[in-house]
Amino acid sequence: MKFNEEQEAFRDSVRRLVQRHVAPIAAEIDETDRFPAELVKVFGEMGLMQLLVPEQYGGPGGDLTMMCIAREEISRVSPACATLAGLNTMFAMPLLHFGSAAQHQRFLSPLAREGVVTATAISEPQAGSDVSAIATRAVRRGDSYVLNGRKQWCSYGCEAEFIMLYARTSDEPGAAGISAFVIEPRRMPGVTFGRHERKMGFRGAPNTPIFLDDVQVPLENLVGEEGKGFRASMRALDMNRPTIGAQCVGLAQGALDAALAYSRERKQFKRSIADFQGIQFMLADMAIQIEAARCLVYECAQAADTGDWKRLNYCASIAKCFASDMAMKVTTDAVQIFGGYGYTRDYPVERWMRDAKLTQIFEGTNQIQRAVIARELLQN
């Protein structure tokens, strides 16, 4: 992938940050499942968490290509820590596209500060792939809404200052009755969190259920019009899915780099295993798939950066689906190249394989991505 001079400089600065702050703690974060609060400050100082917040609100004013670069580089060491880069995008996008000028000033300006954590709450126990099945209710009472319900799989919600939460405001079927609200969990009574999910991978990136018990949300925290929240969530997901693809490219590249180094060092039958054609073909296939996924991801990012929203919807599903399937295969092959040692925690390839599995599930399962792609094909 060919980057311009500014993008190359940005990539190099992220790479230096990763080696200094992320690489030394990556294994420990996975082992302990500890939220790396220290990285919030580090990433915030560099503008990574708030990367897409426009300059007029004090943010860096970056684009999706820069966000993908950041996530790819960090994921070479830790895909879980990479989720902190651009974390505030899923919160900021609905505000930017559907929020009022007052909401822009009130919520986007604080994001430009260093170290503000936000979250997005869409999924529920019975509403995962089917977002339109959301059951959490928001009832208008005077100058506020009262929210009741439960959210599931909320990433970083327990650490967040602001949460973009989606709830049903009418009995209209499907997505028509869903609205978006800004929740401030530290200031709003009735918001509680369950225990952290005990995950196979992406450890250190907490996922917790949210319980809403008569939570009063001011009218001014409604984002856009009533019943337009589903559209807001879909735009945010379209913007975020390419960055999942970038994470997949990064973690796969990390696995390939490790497998290359190990294959040169490991001796069997008095030769490096890299001398055997069976290993060489595995390495070649890994490189082919990574490069193909990288091209898809940045083609998709370019569509977003040029405002080609129709193409973005289609490309986002392709990039996320292909890259995550690729990451699962590449990391599995990396474990195979390491042999028995690859199955131990002494080497990072088993961690990357566990991380890769989640990328095929979150931000829309790959089955859903294929359904989106097929729908686009059949409509044309």
Alpha carbon separation from 63 to 86, 222, 285, 298 (Å, rounded): 10, 26, 31, 12
Phi and psi angles of residue 60, each rounded to the nearest 5 degrees, phi first? -70, -25
At 297, phi and psi to the nearest 5?
Answer: -60, -45
Pairing of strands 118-121, 162-168: parallel
What pairing do the DSSP bridges indicate for beta strands 162-168 and 178-183? antiparallel
Cα separation, 353 vs 199, whole angstroms: 13
DSSP codes, 248-296: HHHHHHHHHHHHHHHHHH-EETTEEGGGSHHHHHHHHHHHHHHHHHHHH
- Give the whole-angstrom CA distance, residue 82 versus residue 86: 9
Q: Is 363 a catalytic residue?
A: yes
Give, in order, the Cα–Cα distances in Å from 73 to each of 55, 65, 172.
24, 12, 44
Smallest Cα–Cα separation from 208: which of 220, 197, 192, 219? 197
- Measuring CA to CA, which residue among 281, 240, 229 is closest to residue 118? 240
Q: Are 39 and 22 in contact (CB under 8 A)?
A: yes
Contact status, residue 182 vs residue 175, Cβ threshold 8 Å: no
- Answer yes or no: are the C-beta atoms of 365 and 130 closer than 8 Å: no
Catalytic, out of 265, 291, 363, 376: 363
Which positions are annotated as active-site residues?
363
